Amino acid sequence: DQQVKQNSPSLSVQEGRISILNCDYTNSMFDYFLWYKKYPAEGPTFLISISSIKDKNEDGRFTVFLNKSAKHLSLHIVPSQPGDSAVYFCAASEGGGSNYKLTFGKGTLLTVNP
């Protein structure tokens, strides 16, 4: 049973426009959410995170929105740049203690066209 789902395997946007990547989760115990960016043959790079007590977190061009009632989060990239082309993973955790682990979605391939 997939607890974190990214239903769009791929997304293509024009340079300068907004990219919106979506993620849904089913486990109510998740209390922290993260987005990672990954290039082929490299490890994931941490982008931005949000705690379940917030509904928005912003860092430069990246904003993450959390809708707890809908169990949905999204990553907005504005403006999109060709260098943003990569696979984006949504991840969730149930806390940073002894039960810590990250549960990942299967990723969305973002292509930003010049």
Partner 1 sequence: KAGVTQTPRYLIKTRGQQVTLSCSPISGHRSVSWYQQTPGQGLQFLFEYFSETQRNKGNFPGRFSGRQFSNSRSEMNVSTLELGDSALYLCASRPDRVDEAFFGQGTRLTVV
* Interface residue with partner 1, options 71, 102, 109, 111 (CB under 8 A): 102
Q: How far apart are CA 47 and CA 58, in angstroms?
A: 11
In angstroms, give the least distance from the CB of 55 to partner 1: 17
What backbone torsions phi and psi does residue 51 show, to the nearest 5 degrees? -85, 155
- The radius of gyration of the chain's CA atoms, rounded to the nearest angstrom, is 14
Distance CA 9, CA 70 (A): 21
CB of residue 9 vs partner 1: minimum separation in angstroms? 11
Site string for partner 1, 81-100 (x = CB under 8 A): --------x-x-x-xx-xxx
60 binds partner 1, rule: CB under 8 A? no
Q: Is the peptide bond before 79 cis (omega within 30 degrees of 0)?
A: yes
Out of 43, 60, 83, 114, the residue judged to bind partner 1 by CB under 8 A: 43
Of 56, 52, 47, give the one whose Cα is nearest residue 89: 47
Binding interface with partner 1 (CB under 8 A): 32, 34, 36, 41-46, 49, 89, 91, 93, 95-96, 98-107
